[in-house]
Amino acid sequence: MWGGRFTRGRSAIPELPEVETVRRELVPWLTGRWIRAVERVDTPLGPKTADLERAAGQRIEAVSRRGKFLILPLQRADGAFADELIIHLGMTGVISPALPARHLRVRMTLDGSSPETLYFRDSRRFGRFLVVARGSYASLPTLARMGPEPLEASFTVAVFAAALARTRAPIKGVLLSQRAVSGVGNIYADEALWRTRIHPRTPASVLSQGKVRALHAAVRDVLAAAVALQGTTLYDYRTVNGEVGAYLEKLAAYGHAGDPCPRCGAELVRIVVVQRGTHLCPRCQRLPRSDA
DNA sequence: CGCATTTCCTGGTAGC
DNA sequence: TGCTACCAGGAAATGC
């Protein structure tokens, strides 16, 4: 499908653009519907606080998103706003109205019009499906401490700069942590750092004001462009309608080790930063000299 | 608290 | 062909 470049490690990796694409497709299908049942079909998934049976008989008030989490606020028949259904696609999670041939983990049945059933397929079982009382994220520390939404007005340069100033951890790790900004994963972190010529190992706090400003813009631009193309499909990820994401063709750095840098022509390399495969241009993206 | 490391999990692939 | 070893990665758990 794409030469041999992605023959290793081609995973779903749903990040903000992929989750947002799924969310937009689910909105007309799920908003206002009553849940008949949410059932775990396979072995245990996620934290023990899953409590999926609590969703039965509640109405889906909205289909929202926080970072890479889908959040469906639920409403009881008496009008009480009580719980929310939280879904994380993990690495390989796919929601679909079509019964998957393998790796079915959760089935959600709804009252009324079609689709009557949605299936959650997840071969690697990193996904999560759970019901919690609204806003109680004790079992979801990442969600509890999540930074601002990158495509919303609350994600300002000042807020981003303050978050970066307080840590010397590598900027790539800070982007992946979800705490300085939400929704960025391995692909879009590499793309944003390539765009801004920042070496992924640069300690966050040493970035100049100009670099912070550029990175803030790049995170927004990369994510917005990917949303417009329905995300990036490397392997598993599909939209709810079964389509692939088209941002794959736009990737400049991720998955391109050995190719020429589109900007300067030097050979792109793959290194490991914070235990993650990381793609960069060794000529464009230099580590600042350390005085320490 | 921060930060680094380990764990979870499976399908695909390299190497023999 | 068939086997083993390894690798990808988000988030949670664990270690210091």
- Summarize pLDDT for A151-193 with one digit per residue, the tens: 999 999 999 999 999 999 999 999 999 999 999 999 999 999 9
- The residue behind tokens 């994963």 is A185
Give the Å distances, CA to CA, from A220 to A163, A244, A290: 16, 22, 29
Q: Which nucleotide is nearest to A145 (CA to C1')?
A: C11
* Segment A266-291, tens digit of pLDDT: 999 999 999 899 999 999 999 987 64
- The residue behind tokens 């020429």 is A260
What is the helix (H) or strand (E) element at residue A130, kind and residue range? strand A128-133
Q: Are A172 and A201 in contact (CB under 8 A)?
A: yes
**Which protein residue's Cα is closest to nucleotide B6 at C1'?**
A275
| Region A60-66 average pLDDT | 96
Q: Which nucleotides of B are covered by protein (CB under 7 A)?
A: 2-14
* Segment A185-241, tens digit of pLDDT: 999 999 999 999 999 999 999 999 999 999 999 999 999 999 998 886 655 555 555
Answer yes or no: is A204 CB < 7 A from strand C: no
SS3 label, residue A268: coil
Known catalytic residues of A are 14-15, 68, 276
Answer yes or no: is A89 CB < 7 A from strand C: no
Answer yes or no: is A178 CB < 7 A from strand C: yes
Max Cα-Cα span within chain A: 66
Q: Which nucleotide is nearest to A169 (CA to C1')?
A: B3
* Segment A184-193, tens digit of pLDDT: 999 999 999 9
Answer yes or no: is A66 CB < 7 A from strand C: no
Across A45-49, A85-89, A149-153, A178-182, least confident range: A45-49
Q: Are A127 and A90 in contact (CB under 8 A)?
A: yes
Q: Are A23 and A64 in contact (CB under 8 A)?
A: yes
**Which protein residue's Cα is closest to nucleotide B5 at C1'?**
A275
Answer yes or no: is A15 CB < 7 A from strand C: yes
